[in-house]
Amino acid sequence: MENRKARILCLDGGGVRGITSLCMLKNIMTEIRTQEERDAADCGDENIEGKANNDGAESRSTTPLKPCEYFDLICGTSTGGLIALMLGRLEYTVDEAIEQYMNLGKEIFGKRKRCFKSSKYGHNTLEKCLKKVVRESHLGDENALMKDERCRCRTFVVSAHLNKHADEYEDDATILRSYDLQALLPEYAFHGKIWEAGRATSAAPTFFKPISIDPRGESSNTSGVIEKASRKLKAETNKKDSYSDGGTVANNPCSIAVREAGRIWGYGNIGCIVSLGTGPEPKFTLDQATKEMLGPKIMWLSRKLLTDFFYLRLQLAFYSLQKMTRTEHVHK
């Protein structure tokens, strides 16, 4: 992007409605192709170079366009974070991401756990599916690390850190990056795997358990005579970091993306921001918010077992959680 300003793609959280963001992005990529073909016709040239990030690419008349070739920074929160990982770090096309996202929805949200569990859906199933998404990408390795400076497009997802202060520059949010900002944020580097970043951004309260990740990642491995001592030291001083859904702190990552891009390229070098939501935000009542979080059966049982006072407190807690994940106010 030597001769142009940065392009940013932001993807909101929104549960299974995240497919809406992908459908809108597909239309955007179709318009980009149409415009490139017009430009090629005007220039009398079948190959338009320099439009994407990989300058000198071959003719795109038949090759599916990849968002990572047109955006310099792709970010997301919760299910938007999963999509950001697919499009940015894993370099999927939009159609490929839609297919993977549909498979995720069937495997994860189609299988509820039984009553009296701390979360609605099994986190093991989610982890298995995320590893499959990574494995089926061009990387081919389900344990590929999130950080890779060779990526043509920078990617980050937003999470909530449960046992450590948040990113110095982002209030309550924690940013899990595919790129290095060591010069600015030496103690906030993420050394985890791609699937772990996906779990961290999408571990919605009451839906999935939080995930614990070794803060030193792969770099913590040791060998030789110091291995035993290292394990003991690690148990005492290197507790795992716990992450939960980023939607509770920044369900719309747009403002975070602006600040992040400003630190990378300078605020004057931001060219455009495409912020995709998941549709109109529904207006919740106390009962609707409680039903959304608990499901009708557990909601009915809670109403029978709890006093009016404690049931109201439960409803208020779930209603507040729904309010926290609103996204439209970020653009106002």
Q: What is the amino acid identity at position 162?
A: L
So which residues are the catalytic ones?
A: 78, 245
Does the structure show a pLDDT above 70 at 266?
yes
Percent share of the chain, pLDDT over 70? 66
Residues 6+ apart with CB under 8 A from 237: none
Does the structure show a pLDDT above 60 at 218?
no
Give the pLDDT score at 94.
Answer: 97
Q: Each residue of 150-206: pLDDT tens digit?
A: 888 999 999 987 766 555 545 678 899 999 875 555 566 788 999 999 999 987 666
Q: Each residue of 51-94: pLDDT tens digit?
A: 565 544 445 567 889 999 999 999 999 999 999 999 999 999 99
Give the pLDDT score at 51.
Answer: 55
Give the pLDDT score at 209.
Answer: 77
- For residues 167 and 161, give the distance between their C-alpha atoms in angstroms, rounded to a whole number: 9
Does the structure show a pLDDT above 70 at 277?
yes
Residues 6+ apart with CB under 8 A from 213: 192, 196, 200, 240, 241, 242, 243
Residues 6+ apart with CB under 8 A from 221: none
Mean pLDDT value across the chain: 77
- For residues 63 and 171, give the distance between their C-alpha atoms in angstroms, rounded to a whole number: 41
pTM of the model: 0.74
The structural domains of the chain, with segments of one domain joined by +, span: 6-39+64-279, 283-331
CATH topology of domain 6-39+64-279: Cytosolic phospholipase A2 catalytic domain (3.40.1090)
Give the pLDDT score at 257.
Answer: 94
Give the pLDDT score at 57.
Answer: 45
* 73 within 8 A of 154, measured Cβ to Cβ: yes
The DSSP result for 112-142, as a single string, is BPPTT-SSSB-HHHHHHHHHHHHHTSTT--T
